[in-house]
Structure 1
């Protein structure tokens, strides 16, 4: 279902150069719908300019791409278009390289400048479908490249420093991408582009790398941790869990393939398990604990 306002907005965006020129003349209240239509229809030139000149402190995918009064289509339930995602990232990059946000098109007060770009909540079904869509693995790589490029961009242009933007994302990492993502997280420290992870999924990652990655994440932002195929024993679990426990707002913790040897119980094994249980008491916001494919025989009484 589309309203007349939606259809009119879609028509306005048919000619992208003209639409970009018209943005300074449009009321700010239209920007959320403009973003949804541009994202849906892959109007990448307009989408980039919308992010570049965004007039609100927050740009949230979960707010803008859901079902709304003008359009019943919920884009969050679909895998995002690669073109649209890249346009958003390019718009962010352009904004960070402009001393005054939107100076070329729309005079914005600094107190209304974009502070948070929330790209979390995108569909992650793990199934390769349309090659024109972007998986969470691809999204992680794209955001990581942007962080590294921002840090390596050289000296800043004369004039006021760019206003820092916090980019909230869901990150996916494995052995192959670990070093790259670690560099991106390190690059974002003290950078105008601050990377914050809300949902972390690590697959087939050695224990020491998992710990190193957790140490780089913002303690106030992370909400979900999913460790898969890491073959954690009770000793590995006891090493990792205190680093996870520092995320006081964590709501979901998934630990797969944790194996305790019930055939040859040891004092160390019992101590490690008791330590794990003690650390679990530190999670005050945890609502989900999943330990699928784990073997903890004799330790659940």
Structure 2
């Protein structure tokens, strides 16, 4: 036999208020502020729309994190419409209540613990103790807010199909009140090639608020050039992920050069960028100097993957002042076989004081090239992860490599391909030496103060 918990006095009081709509509406403005969040939650759950509308008008906190309580889906459209009706009353300067404090309507799926914890008086987050999900620390971007304007925050994922009903309603509502509010999007993800539709949405947003942009579909270079001026307006951008830019065979070299310039020139406006991730961007081969020269801000994360680059690209990168604070470098899938190791060696030396992760998987680095990199690698005192999978490596150079990494006190994960020699005619002797290396590693790691894993793939990478 199960026992139901006895309702608290607070719960009983709220149930009584919700049953008497007229009493609830008349009492809202005089209720203690800590009662408004649980009462709002109950009003949404039981769809007491008139109470909810009035509750928005007397909301005592700077932020109303509605997205933490409802999904931006069609079944919640009536809730959204009701809340925006209440916001409309606030936007009417003649009807502002005396204790009006609302500054932010947050429709993102965040701050869910607000509804069980008192919010406090803060404009930077909607609840105390809410953890920021970003791995990189913000440097304090500056945003000029319109005087007395309400800020409405959404997250956007643009797909080939039309916007969801709730988001469409928000855009229609915001368009009619553009002079009274700022519509901000902190996370923008794009998975559509319909650039005309993208532009229409971008022109509705206050782009100063965009912090993260991800383009996860194949664009033509001309599409990227159309998007570029809007990217340049995102002056507080922290992270950009860009992948699979296609250059049609019909384009002339002069046209390609102009389109590339339209893209790279925008980076001079991105003074807070910390994370730059470029995947399958062969169009920048030999032209990355344009991008790096415009990029004056110190990056923390740089990822250039599955792309063709030139030796001059690496040289340009290694000479930029902005890489001296780099914490994460990913060059996986960038084939370096025919490129001098010197630029990468210089790059590693310059980031040695801060670098924490280094991913060189499938770069097809030869033993002779790795030998040049080893002294620089051994200087990366903060390194915690090193991925060298899918690179051909011999037992002798692996032994030297492990000797150099053994002095890195924070290194906790190393990943290597099995030396190809053990599968050759003299494989037995090489296999014996590899087993000896593993035993030596095991003994050495017993004395470490932290866990350390050295992982070898089953299949070798042939030179």
Aligned: 1:46 with 2:51: yes
Give ranges in structure 2 of 5+ residues lacking alignment.
Answer: 111-147, 283-306, 314-463
TM-score, normalising length: structure 2: 0.41
Q: Greater relative contact order: 1 or 2 (C-alpha under 8 angstroms, separation 6 or more)?
A: 1
Q: Given the alignment, which residue of 208, 211, 219 partners 2:207?
A: 219
1:32 Cα offset (Å): 2.7
Q: Which residue of 2 aligns with 1:187?
A: 176
Displacement of 1:201: 4.2
C-alpha deviation, 1:44, in angstroms: 2.6
- The Cα of 1:189 is off from its aligned counterpart by 3.0
Work out the CA distance in 1 between the residues paired with 2:252 and 2:88: 55
Tell me if 1:280 matches 2:267. Answer: yes
Shift of 1:245: 1.9
What is residue 38 of structure 2 aligned with on the other side?
33
Shift of 1:249: 1.4
Q: CA RMSD in A?
A: 4.2
Aligned to 1:141: none
Specify which of 15, 19, 28 is matched with residue 15 of structure 1: 19
Residue 198 of structure 1: aligned partner = 186
Partners of 1:184 and 1:15 in 2: CA distance: 31
Indicate how the Cα distance of structure 1 residues 283 and 252 shifts in structure 2: closer, same or farther if over 3 A, else same: same
Residues in 1 aligned to 2:101 and 2:234: alpha-carbon distance in whole angstroms? 26
CA drift at 1:244: 0.8
**1:232 Cα deviation from its structure 2 partner:** 2.2
Q: Which runs of 5+ in 1 are unaligned?
A: 66-74, 102-107, 124-162
CA separation in 2, counterparts of 1:22 and 1:238? 56
**SS class of match (1:29):** helix
Q: Aligned pair in 2 of structure 1 residues 189, 95: CA closer, same or farther (>3 Å)?
A: closer
Match of 1:259 among 234, 240, 246: 246
Using the size of structure 1 for normalisation, the TM-score is 0.59
Aligned length: 238
Instruction: State how far apart, in whole Å, the 1-side matches of 2:7 and 2:261 are.
Output: 59
**CA pair 246-95 structure 1, distance change in 2 beyond 3 A:** closer
Residue deviations 1:79-135, cap 9 Å, x none?
67614333312322344458323xxxxxx32xx424423223228xxxxxxxxxxxx
Greater mean deviation of Cα atoms: 169-178 or 12-21: 169-178
- 1:170 is aligned to 2:155: yes
Q: Which structure has the larger Rg?
A: 2
Q: CA deviation at 1:171?
A: 4.2
Give the match's secondary structure for 1:99: helix
Structure 2 counterpart SS, 1:220: helix
**Within the alignment, does 1:99 sit opposite 2:94 as a pair?**
yes
Does 1:298 find its partner at 2:301?
no
Aligned residue for 1:225, secondary structure, equals strand
Map Cα deviations across residues 17-59 of structure 1 (whole Å, 9 max, x no partner): 0322322331233223322333344333322220122234432
Q: Quick check: 2:57–2:100 contact (8 Å CA) kept in 1?
A: no
